[in-house]
Structure 1
Amino acid sequence: MLVMSVAVQADEDALPTRAAEAFAAHCFSPFMTAERAEEVLASTGARVDFYDLDPFSNAEPSPVTGRPATTGTDRRCEVAFDGDHAELAASAAIAGLEMEGIDTEAPIPDRYQPTEGTALLGARQLNPRRIAVVHVGTRPGPNGVETFMFVERLMPIAP
């Protein structure tokens, strides 16, 4: 019984790293789909919220299944997991942006404000008509404090 308890604890300790790395590797990709989110994000054990109303590829738009869609966005990719792992999550998010070559800063829209647990809040230009907002931090979750990481793609800016 003790061996089983130790194995469960080790798996729980690895979850933040797995979830943060999966977020970094997949959430910034324009080819991410709801099916892929289930496969690569939810399989880490993290809580996942994903929708893409205007896919880049020929994939079908995915429904909004978690929280309601954020006004003015057409895509969200979010993972959340128990505990305060904001520093790990912020580092992973920055690495994910760098891996995708998303480095042009953009002004953060007024509707995004830092919260008490914010570790990272920033906006990046995806192309001349689109920006994405990344927010990482901690908040109350279903089991106490949880770490969250999300990126939301805003609707295109009119030319």
Structure 2
Amino acid sequence: MGDLPGRSRYLGLAAALAAMGHGVQAESSEKAALSAFADNCLSPHLTARAANEAFAGPEIRHDFYDLDPFSAPAPSPAAGMPTPGTDRRCEVTFDGDQGAQAAETARAALAAEGITTEAPLPATHTGAHRPGTTLLAARALNPGRVAVVHTGTRPGPNGPETFLRVERLTPEASREALK
């Protein structure tokens, strides 16, 4: 049978390394999802095809629609029901509870894009604050358009999930919000 205590130490070390590897993989998946949101979701040039490529991977889930695209040849329809008063959504989710990091990432991405002018939270989003919300804020994209950014944690398919979402209001909903 060989050296049983030595074998036990080896198996214990192997189990510890495997657990560390899983932690590293989860951490890198979280970083990839946060970076994907920051690098893509605020771009007016993002298309459904580009979103599918940017958010590819088993650890990242996304929801994207653009009913009034800035640069795409055709609208990207919503897979489900669009939020009333919005014409674009970019949402990234991943397993785990990283709501605080999601809020930091969203704030930094907004600042990097120069989207810093606060706007009133529109009526369409006043009920969006739920347990787990870490950021819910409206920002003026320009004098006539508003976006709502929402981050936090919620129940997901595999336990808690972290989400980062930005929704662009329609021109009509933006005018109403900016009154």
- What letter matches 1:61 in structure 2? P
Q: Which has the higher contact order (CA 8 A, sep 6+)?
A: 1
SS class of match (1:111): helix
The 5 A counterparts of 1:6-155 are: 6-43=20-57, 45-65=59-79, 67-112=80-125, 113-155=128-170
Q: Over the residues paired in the alignment, what is the CA RMSD in angstroms?
A: 1.9
Q: What's the offset of the Cα at 1:14?
A: 1.3
- What letter matches 1:98 in structure 2? A
Residue identity over aligned pairs, in percent, reads 51
Q: Normalized per residue, which structure has more helix? A: 2
Name stretches of at least 5 consecutive residues in structure 2 with no aligned partner.
1-13
Q: What's the offset of the Cα at 1:6?
A: 4.9
Q: What's the offset of the Cα at 1:11?
A: 1.5
Q: Supply the distance in 2 between the matched residues of 1:58 and 1:33 (Cα, whole angstroms).
A: 6
Q: Provide TM-score, normalisation by structure 2.
A: 0.81
- What letter matches 1:38 in structure 2? N
Name the larger-Rg structure: 2
Number of aligned positions between the proteins: 158
Q: Supply the distance in 2 between the matched residues of 1:59 and 1:99 (Cα, whole angstroms).
A: 27
